[in-house]
Chains A and B, each alone.
Chain A
Amino acid sequence: MLNVENLHAGYSGDDAVRGISLQVAEGSCVALVGANGAGKSTLVKALCGLLIPRSGRVSFDGKEITGLPASEVARRGLCLCPEGRRVFGPLTVEENLLLGAYPRLPSFGPFRRAASSDLKHIYGMFSRLGERRLQQAGSLSGGEQQMLAIGRVLMAKPRFMVLDEPSMGLAPVVVKEVFEAIRTLHASGMTILLSEQFARIALAISDRAYIIERGSVVLEGPSKELAKNPGVMAAYLG
């Protein structure tokens, strides 16, 4: 479903991503594992249109999307839940969720009515968001913000979800909760690309994984096998 060929990308100076190729099949959950600064976030940004790659190809559903603006990539159903959650702090929880569905809501019409059943669905999944729907998103706890960020992506009805460091800055109990939600999503058939520095939890949840070091793929394979590889676990204990 997603096909990346020999991608090079970076902000300034040297490439942070040096010739990465990867594939994600429909319905699968693929993990990108690597230490902080390995290039995972740069790769994810280049996939989703936040960063224009220097060379290489990204295709989604057989169509090339390399260099398209992020808003167009999102409209095609490839949606990123960004690192650091990036909820709209001054807006309410519900407004954040509505923005997830922005492309299919009327700009000047009765948008709340158009989105009401989708909102109900998200509040059913994350009941705390429902309880706080009129609060400013900035006032939520880190875990709640992560739920909101995931809910916002789900409001877009994505066909492919990219999650960038969903565990970042969260307490272990909350991390467990977030990954439980990701597991449920995968079980319901969502295609997921998960970038995560904690190898153990990422390998436990994914079908396949790519180990990334200094901007290149150093190992790839089924997550179960990688989890048994002593070298991987020693290098990325977490």
Chain B
Amino acid sequence: MDATYIALAQMAVGGGLMGMAYALVAYGFQLTYAAGKAVNFGQGELVMLGAFAGISLAGTGLPYWVSVLGAMVAGAALGWLVERVAVRLALKQHNEGWILLTIIVGLFALSSVENIWGREDRAFPAPWPTGALDIFGISVTWPELAIAAGALGIMTLVELAKRYTMAGIAVQAVSADPEAAELCGVRSRSAISLSWAVSGAAAAFAGTVLGPVTTVGPTMAAALTLKAFSVAVVAGLDSGFGLLIAGIALGAAENLSGYVLGSGWREAPGLILLILALAIRPQGVFGKKIIRKV
């Protein structure tokens, strides 16, 4: 009996730590939604691209940290690009075409990845010690801890920058009232571009910390978009703290259902969560906010 509980707790903790990466990806949704009322439905592809970029950079012999930083720069550039080529076009015409356009850009990214890096899953090299820590009988590996520390670190850093730099305050002003921000001389398009770049960097970083745990392959992208989306739907797009809670809960639920019901059921909680949330809030994630704005 005891052994079962410990195994369940072990599963919950491991999943919860993974779930913090989902929260980080969902946080990217939150950033772009706040500034420009749009999200990237190809965010999972950015996570995957970030991971592959990190692997390739590390493959050239660059130190781990430099590779991670390089992956983030690539992610920022791609995030910026998605907004420029897909989202801005549709919003200019005042329609919801950005949803489809970001999916298309994501698919394009996916096939590029398959062409450049191939379809096989790869290991992400990380300098963490191989052993596990024992915390009250539950073992926690270093790569899992890196996910938690990285997700918390990035989110904290961005939140601090939003409060304590003028650029961050300007982005907040654009989320609150883009016209009034323009009247202050804030170029709202630049503020939106900035938030897409930060969102892309966060996604790429998530790829570099997830990689050592899950391995990296083209199949990770769609699953991650969906999971992050479930987390964002459940937590709402206002609070970073809510995202963390929802992310941890989803990660834990995935691991537990995989353990109890069988590995085929791992993906079920995310989907069930998404369906439930959409059923309870039929206006969808964004409905309320858009109505409030207009």
Contacts and interface: CB of A to CB of B under 8 A. Distances in A.
Interface of A: 48-50, 69-71, 74-75, 79-80, 82, 86-91, 95, 98-100, 102-103, 105-109, 111, 152, 156
Contacts of B187: 69, 71
A50 B173 contact: no
Contacts of B185: 71, 74-75, 102-103, 156
A103 B177 CA distance: 17
Interface string B166-191: 11011011001101111111111000
The 7 closest A-B pairs by CB, nearest first: A70-B182, A86-B180, A103-B185, A107-B167, A111-B166, A74-B185, A88-B176
B143 to A, nearest CB: 32
Contacts of B166: 98, 102, 105-109, 111
Given A91-B169, A102-B186, 17 more contacts: A50-B182, A74-B182, A74-B183, A74-B185, A75-B185, A80-B183, A88-B177, A90-B176, A98-B166, A99-B170, A99-B173, A99-B184, A102-B170, A103-B185, A106-B166, A107-B165, A108-B165
A70 B172 CA distance: 18
Contacts of B184: 71, 74, 99-100, 102, 152, 156
A148 to B, nearest CB: 12
Interface string B264-275: 000000000000
Nearest to A115: B166
Interface residues on B, range: 10 to 19
A82 B169 contact: no
Given A89-B176, A90-B176, A98 B169 contact: yes
6 contacts: A50-B182, A70-B183, A99-B169, A99-B181, A102-B185, A108-B165
Nearest to B186: A102
B180 A82 contact: yes
Interface of B: 165-167, 169-170, 172-173, 176-177, 179-188
Contacts of A75: 185
B183 A95 contact: no
Nearest to A81: B183
Contacts of A86: 177, 179-180, 183
A96 to B, nearest CB: 8
A82 B180 CA distance: 8
Nearest to A104: B185
Contacts of A90: 172, 176
Contacts of A100: 184
A152 B176 CA distance: 15
A196 to B, nearest CB: 19
Which residue of B165, B167, B176, B187 has the most chain A CB atoms within 10 A of its CB atom?
Answer: B176
Central interface residue in B165, B182, B188, by most chain A CB within 10 Å: B182
B61 to A, nearest CB: 32
A16 B183 CA distance: 22
Contacts of B181: 88, 99
B213 to A, nearest CB: 33
A77 to B, nearest CB: 10
